[in-house]
């Protein structure tokens, strides 16, 4: 197997993993929403079930960890494609347009990352806020403070994931040079 075939197989594997991670991240959010809906439905029953709302921040923390882990792997795969696959294709004198190395991706990546992170923070954070407000009885309630702590941790994890993804995009700037091809040796010769 030559270098070009190896590069293309690596690209296809990375692309497949990227799509799968996006799907898994979305499924984690859907599972979280289903769990929160169930917990709120139980908690809206008679008053003795209200304590079930304490579960929301714990579930939110777990969901934010899963979502952020998938988000990190997605970012790493994007970085792998633009820092390893694209130069390897160029070294074999092969041009292949790769979305994550395109001006289109550059133009939309920061804005979509902000929208995605805000969406995750709202989807995960609002039910936590609801449970914290609804459950407050006194500042001496230890369970309430755990709920606050887990809720804050969930939102911080989402923010940290957003920040790391922005760093990956900022590191990609040299690969988004406005040319159709990436020239690893700064040649201005077009690649075929």
pLDDT tens per residue across all 192 residues of the chain: 788 888 888 888 998 999 999 999 999 999 999 999 999 988 888 777 888 888 999 999 999 999 999 999 998 998 888 888 888 877 777 766 777 777 777 788 888 889 999 999 999 999 999 999 988 888 888 889 999 999 999 999 999 999 998 888 887 666 655 454 443 444 444 333
How many CB atoms are located within 10 Å of the residue 24 CB?
A: 16
The secondary structure of residue 140, as a DSSP letter, is: T
Q: Which residues make Cβ contacts (< 8 Å) with residue 178, sequence separation at least 6?
A: 103
Q: Which residues make Cβ contacts (< 8 Å) with residue 153, sequence separation at least 6?
A: 61, 64
Cα(29)–Cα(71) distance, rounded to whole angstroms? 12
Looking at residue 87, its pLDDT comes to 82
What is the DSSP secondary-structure string of 118-163?
HHHHHHHHHHHHHHHHHH-S-TT-HHHHHHHHHHHHHHHHHHHHHH
């Amino acid at each position: 197997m030559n270098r070009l075939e190896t590069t293309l197989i690596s690209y296809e594997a990375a692309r497949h993993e990227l799509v799968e991670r996006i799907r898994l991240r979305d499924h984690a959010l859907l599972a979280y929403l289903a769990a929160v809906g169930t917990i709120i439905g139980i908690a809206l029953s008679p008053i003795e079930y209200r304590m079930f709302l304490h579960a929301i921040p714990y579930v939110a923390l777990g969901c934010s960890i899963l979502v952020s882990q998938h988000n990190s792997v997605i970012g790493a795969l994007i970085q792998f494609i633009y820092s390893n696959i694209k130069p390897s294709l160029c070294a074999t004198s092969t041009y292949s347009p790769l979305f994550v190395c395109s001006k289109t991706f550059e133009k939309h990546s920061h804005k979509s990352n902000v929208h995605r992170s805000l969406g995750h923070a709202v989807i995960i954070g609002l039910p936590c806020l609801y449970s914290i407000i609804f459950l407050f009885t006194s500042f001496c309630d230890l369970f309430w403070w755990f709920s606050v702590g887990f809720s804050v941790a969930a939102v911080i994890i989402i923010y940290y994931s957003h920040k790391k993804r922005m760093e990956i995009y900022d590191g990609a700037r040299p690969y988004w040079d406005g040319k159709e091809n990436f020239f690893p040796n700064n040649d201005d010769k077009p690649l075929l």
